[in-house]
Amino acid sequence: MDIRETGIILFCEDYELVLKFYSEQLGMKIRQRGKDLSILDFGGSYLMLEENGVASDIEKTRSQNPTVIRLNVNNFDLAVSEIVARGVNVEVKSFEWGTIGVVIDPEGNRRSAPWSHPLVFR
C-alpha cells in the first residue's frame, strides 16, 4: 500500500461553530472550505470537518467519542499562551512522561496536546 496522506474526519452538529473553533481559535489553516465539509491542515495530515455529528454540552465520554486528537508542538508554553489568548480554556496536566494541555471543543470532544509533548483537546 502506497499511502499518500492520512486524515481524520470529525462529524459536527454545528459545523460552522466547530470550523471557527479549529481554524480561528486553534489556528489550523483551512485547506479547503465547503458548505458542509472543510479540510484543515493537521501537521503532515488533515482534519476534515463534516456535518451530521452529535454535540454535547459537556465533555463526551469515551463511549461517545473514543478518539483523542493530539497535536505535538515545539513550544508548549507558547502554544498554550497563543490559544488561551484566543479564548480557549486549557487544562495543563503534568505526568512522568511529559505535560499536556487538555482542551474541550465546542461539541464536547476532547483534544490534547503535549506541546513539547501533546496538546490534548477534550
- List of domains in the chain: 7-121 (3.10.180.10)
Ranges of beta strands (E only) in the chain are: 7-12, 30-33, 37-42, 45-51, 69-72, 91-95, 98-104, 110-113, 118-121
Q: What is the pLDDT of residue 122?
A: 42
pLDDT (average), residues 91-113:
86
pTM equals 0.85
More confidently predicted of 44 and 19: 19
Q: How far is CA 70 from CA 35, 46, 52, 64, in A?
A: 26, 12, 23, 18
More confidently predicted of 8 and 65: 8
